[in-house]
């Protein structure tokens, strides 16, 4: 049974999270403009595999409070560490997009609390773009729509971005998912969180990659519109980690949300990764 609970962290903000199961702790963190609902298909599968799982709404998102002073990955990392401490830790951190970078920082800041990290389509390094990248249609379309949403707070542009970010067949709950995202972002302060996270550069996460001491699994979708070459981005993240800690897996046909498009594949990769690391320990 899943229960929704709330945690007040330093600074007075409140985080909402669902928790279920028993066993080793896994904390699931979503990307910008989203909520813990992004893991609706992942969470029960991990619980069934014998884990205690918490899916959290990032600051300003979902049912968490909206009045926060800052929105960097370092700030989000502090929230995630506070939640892990509250739940008794240590934990495996699973972070998507912006929270992939935050999970990196959390692991580097408190190695005793984080046993492993899974980064899904993560923004964890300083980003750069060359003119040749714009020849990739999905990247060009995704970039323009992301910029429209982040710079102007345009909900229609965000919805259009999501159409590109979920290439091919949409999840069975697609209409319900879009409706919830739209309702959340229409609430006061929610679009502000999206815009501020979108403006926050991942340089703080990139600076911490070399300080991570736990194993890291990077998952990238082959059709992710956020990069012209998702494989190259994932490879670069692994290369910036200490030797032997990182592992990259590509998910064929997935866009920026492989955990929602292909939850069985993502959970299988995560469980294989954790079993492998447990055998090494």
CA-wise closest residue to 56 among 12, 23, 10, 102? 102
Q: What residue segments make up the domains of the chain, in order of their start?
A: 3-280
- Look at the domain 3-280 and name its fold: Rossmann fold (3.40.50)
pLDDT greater than 90 at residue 280: no
**Mean pLDDT, rounded, of the chain:** 94
Predicted structure pTM score: 0.96
pLDDT value of position 47: 98
pLDDT value of position 150: 85
DSSP letter at 38 equals: G
CA atoms lying within 13 Å on the CB side of residue 114: 30
pLDDT value of position 266: 98
Question: Tell me: the pLDDT tens digits for 100-132?
Answer: 999 999 999 999 999 999 999 999 998 776 767
The percentage of residues in the chain with a pLDDT greater than 90, rounded to a whole number, is: 85
pLDDT greater than 90 at residue 226: yes
Question: Tell me: the pLDDT tens digits for 159-215?
Answer: 999 999 999 989 999 999 999 999 999 999 999 999 999 989 999 999 999 999 999
> With 0-12 CB in 10 A as exposed, 13-18 as middle and 19+ as buried, what is 240?
middle
pLDDT value of position 1: 66
Question: Tell me: the pLDDT tens digits for 142-157?
Answer: 888 988 898 889 999 9
Tell me how far CA of residue 237 lies from CA of 35, 120, 164, 222, in angstroms. Answer: 25, 12, 24, 16
Span of 8-17, 48-57, 235-244 with lowest mean pLDDT:
8-17
């Amino acid at each position: 049974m899943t229960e929704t609970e709330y945690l007040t962290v330093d600074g007075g903000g409140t985080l909402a999270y669902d928790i279920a199961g028993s066993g080793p702790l896994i904390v699931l963190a979503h990307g910008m403009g989203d909520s813990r609902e992004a893991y609706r298909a992942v969470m029960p599968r991990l619980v069934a595999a014998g884990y205690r799982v918490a899916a959290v709404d990032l600051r300003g998102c979902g049912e968490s409070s909206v009045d926060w002073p800052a929105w960097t990955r370092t700030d989000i990392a502090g929230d995630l560490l506070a939640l892990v401490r509250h739940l008794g830790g240590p934990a495996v951190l699973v972070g998507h997009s912006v929270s992939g970078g935050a999970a990196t920082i959390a692991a580097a800041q408190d190695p005793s609390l984080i046993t492993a990290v899974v980064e899904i389509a993560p923004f964890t390094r300083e980003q750069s773009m060359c003119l040749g990248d714009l020849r990739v249609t999905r990247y060009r379309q995704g970039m323009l729509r992301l910029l429209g949403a982040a710079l102007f707070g345009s909900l229609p542009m965000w919805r259009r971005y999501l159409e590109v970010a979920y290439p091919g067949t949409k999840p069975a709950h697609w209409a319900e998912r879009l409706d919830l995202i739209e309702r959340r972002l229409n609430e006061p302060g929610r679009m502000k969180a999206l815009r501020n996270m979108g403006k926050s550069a991942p340089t703080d996460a990139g600076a911490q990659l070399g300080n991570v001491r736990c194993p890291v699994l990077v998952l990238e979708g082959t059709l992710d519109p956020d990069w012209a070459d998702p494989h190259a981005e994932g490879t670069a993240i692994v290369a910036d980690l200490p030797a032997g800690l990182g592992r990259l897996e590509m998910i064929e046909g997935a866009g920026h949300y492989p955990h929602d498009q292909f939850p069985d594949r993502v959970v299988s990769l995560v469980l294989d990764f954790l079993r492998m690391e447990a055998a090494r320990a």
